Amino acid sequence: MFELWFSKMPVLNKKGFFPGPEESLDSFLFRVQQIEKRYPPHENHCDDGFFDHFNTLFQCVPAWMPWRFDSPGLAFFQGACATVELQGKDEFHIDVQVHPRYQKNAKKRKEILSHEGVHIVRMAFADGLFEELLAYQSSRYIWRRWLGGVFLHPRNVYCLFGLILLSVAGQLLDVLFSPWNLDWGGIQWFFALLPLGYFSFLLLRGGVLFWTLRLAAYRVMQLAPKWKEAPLAVLLRMCDKDIFAFAWKRKKSLENKIELWKDSQQFYYQFLYKCFFSKW
């Protein structure tokens, strides 16, 4: 059945359609059909430079991705937000909300649309570790490409700010009750160190994820020479488990793993094999 679809694979892949780990061929084709029917390509978006930038990095052009400039609902630290919802059983709702401050800035608009584009094309992936980091690889700033793995979810930001407020409250209580010489048992220092400890954890996790992604990209360049100039395109289409495997497993072990993909019953692995690790 997969071979019947094989002739369509290069075209759909180039449009930004590729399967998730748990997706069957039927469910994948159904998703593509529904999205293409509801979200036709927008010709008026072609002058944003977003398509060229995204294609250079990830070797696909999601011309069907809708976006709008609006600010209500965005947190103070968010420049944009991408959501994908399944309404009923057969209708996908895709929304990319971009803050109006980017509407007149072509460079920043291109960058932030590329960032949100990663979330949209990976809609079939439930993984949460590498997607945000992959999205930040579209940035022109090196520090953003590294720090992108620090805050993987808005709740990380909210948690950090909450701990900072808790720390400040602890210090204020210490000052207010100091005339009574109350012994807090050093608990105020515990509250003071909570934000630092949490942020240190986020930095450590971000560093591990960043170097894991770098190692995986290097291994892709070894095992898929024709994608040497665009290893991120391969990693974009991989789940967290496979990115970790490409980063930390031996080359021989990965070669055996890739060979098993050839006859795998999972559409996702057959897709990866035929697209990136075999000849068209």
- The pTM assigned to this predicted structure is 0.87
Q: What is the pLDDT of residue 89?
A: 64
Phi and psi, residue 108, nearest 5° = -70, -35
Q: How confident is residue 143, by pLDDT bands cut at 50, 70 and 90? A: confident
pLDDT of residue 280: 44
pLDDT of 260 > 50? The answer is: yes
| Measured distance CA(65)–CA(92) in Å, rounded | 12
Both tokens of 107, joined, read 């460079």
**Rounded Cα gap, residues 41 and 51, in angstroms:** 12
Predicted local confidence at residue 185, as pLDDT: 55
- Residues 175 and 129: their CA atoms lie apart, in Å, by 41
Token pair in block for residue 88: 């009923």
Average pLDDT over residues 63-76: 88
> To the nearest whole percent, how much of the chain has pLDDT over 70?
87
- Mean pLDDT for 14-39 is 91
Point out the least confidently predicted range of 9-13, 100-104, 179-183.
Answer: 179-183
How remote is the C-alpha of 118 from its chain's centroid? Answer: 5
Helices 267-276 & 251-261, crossing angle to 10 degrees?
110
What's the mean pLDDT in 105-112?
86
In three-state secondary structure terms, 189 is: helix
| pLDDT score of 256 | 93
pLDDT(181) > 70 = no
Region of poorest pLDDT, from 80-94, 150-164, 171-185: 171-185
Q: Does the pLDDT of residue 152 top 90, yes or no? A: no
Q: According to the model, what pLDDT value does residue 112 have?
A: 92
